[in-house]
Amino acid sequence: MITATFLSILLADVAVSMPSMNVRQTGASCAGLGSDATDTTSYNFTLAAYNTTNSGGVTTPLVLAWGPPGDSPAASEWVFSTYESWGSNQWPYNTLQSGAVFPQAGSDEEGLGAFSAPVAAGDELVFVVTEYESSPDAAQIYCAVPEVATNSVLLAVNGDTNSFSLCTATTTWISGSQVTLVYEASEDSDEYIYDTCYAVKVAIEPV
């Protein structure tokens, strides 16, 4: 006869031996991107771009950098640029939570927070940087999408992994050229020089 004490011990042993399972979340930002896509990652990550026509397997690290001047004195707009063109990394990794991307501040940006803003066709991928908030009004438009062909996980925005470009920005606030990440690059934009754009995919790289 199985006693209550024995049964409770047995159940406890089973619970200990079972591996923890990560709950895969597929919200609206992952609609149509497959059952393995997720709007929340269990790991921190960096981003890297690779040329879709002539990459040679080489990826280009992307970092959060100054974006176009904004209208608010309390917040600023930052964008993802190539590390080579920006030259520093003040936001060393990112998180993806419920479709929103949150760059995480390094020691030089202590007390600040960053979160994803809406992105329209032709826009740079803009992130709002302001004083840290526990629940900012972040745009929930991103998704992590496994790609079997390259054995990688790709970033999607607005349900799309295939419309990113790297373009030389029309910057006036730094010296030299800044190369930024753009969604559905348009020759009508004044944020970057359209003729410099080339198509990339954006890989999510766990850290």
- Mean pLDDT throughout 94-113? 94
Cβ atoms of 113 and 78 closer than 8 Å: no
Confidence tier at 127 by pLDDT (50, 70, 90): very high
**28 or 58: which leads in pLDDT:** 28
Residue 70 has pLDDT above 70, yes or no: no
Examine residue 136 and state whether it is found in any structural domain, yes or no.
yes
Does residue 8 form part of some domain? no
Asked whether residue 187 is domain-assigned, the answer is yes
- Return the pLDDT at 177: 87
Q: Is residue 48 part of a domain?
A: yes
d(CA 54, CA 199): 10
In a domain, 1, yes or no: no
**% of residues, the chain, pLDDT over 70:** 81
13 in a structural domain: no
Question: At 108, phi and psi to the nearest 5?
Answer: -75, -15
Domain residues for the domain of 153 are 24-206
Whether residue 95 contacts residue 113, with contact meaning beta carbons closer than 8 Å, is answered with no
pLDDT surpasses 60 at 73:
no
The answer as to whether 16 is a domain residue is: no
How many folded domains does the chain comprise? 1
183 lies in some domain: yes
